Amino acid sequence: MSGYSFGSNYSKEIKPLTILQKYLIRKYTFDWFFSLFFSKISDRLLLFEIIYQISQDWTTKLSVMKGMWTIVLLLFSNVFMTLAWYGHLKFHEWKSFSKFGLFAVIAISWGMAFFEYCLQVPANRIGYKENGGPFTLVQLKVIQEVLTLGVFTIFTLIAFKNESLKWNHLLAGLLLIAAVYLVFKK
C-alpha cells in the first residue's frame, strides 16, 4: 500500500485508478458485505480510499458542470433582460407596437423579464458556493455584469445601428476583464 495514506496530505496523493483498483471496485461492489467483514483490513482501507478518490473526482466534475451551467443560464437570462430593458425602444418602428401606451410597454417588458428571472434565479442558486456551486456572491455578480455588458454591446450593434463603439467603451471593457481577473484571484 505504498503511496496511499489517510490524512491531511491525502489530496496531494490522488492517482489515476489502476487496473487492480478497478478490479477491486468490481469485486467489492458485487460482494460488498462479504468483502467488508471477511477481507483483510488493508483491502478494506484500499477500497475506502478508492471510493474517496472517485467521490473527489465526481465532486470536481460536478463543480465544473455547475459553473458552466451557471454561466450559460446567466448568458440567456441577460438576453431576456436586455430585450426587456431596451427592446421597447424599438417599438415605434413596428406598426403593431407603435400605438401602445406606457402601461402596455411596461407589461410587455415585465413579461420578458419573467423569462429572465426564470433563468437568472436558478443560475445563481446553482452557482453560489453556499449551495454547492463554485462561485462566491461577488464572483457571481461580476460574471453577471460582464455578461450583461457583453450582451448589451451585441444587442446595441445589431438593433441600434446609429450607436457606435468608441475607444472609451473598449477601454471600459478591458477594465471589466481586469475586474474579473481580480475577483477570481486568490
Domain positions in the chain are 10-54, 65-184
Distance CA 11, CA 71 (A): 28
CA-based nearest residue to 77, from 128, 119, 124: 119
Per-residue pLDDT of 86-98, as tens digits, reads: 988 888 788 887 7
Residue 10 has pLDDT above 50, yes or no: no
**For position 41, what pLDDT does the model report?**
57
CA-based nearest residue to 148, from 89, 84, 86, 74: 74
Q: 57 is written with which cell numbers? A: 473526482
Q: Is 63 exposed, middle or buried (0-12, 13-18, 19+ CB in 10 A)?
A: middle
Which residue has cell 415585465? Answer: 110
Average pLDDT over residues 27-56: 55
Residue 149 has pLDDT above 70, yes or no: yes
Across 6-20, 44-58, 115-129, the highest mean pLDDT is recorded for: 115-129
CA-based nearest residue to 78, from 162, 9, 20, 143: 143
pTM for the predicted model, two decimal places? 0.64
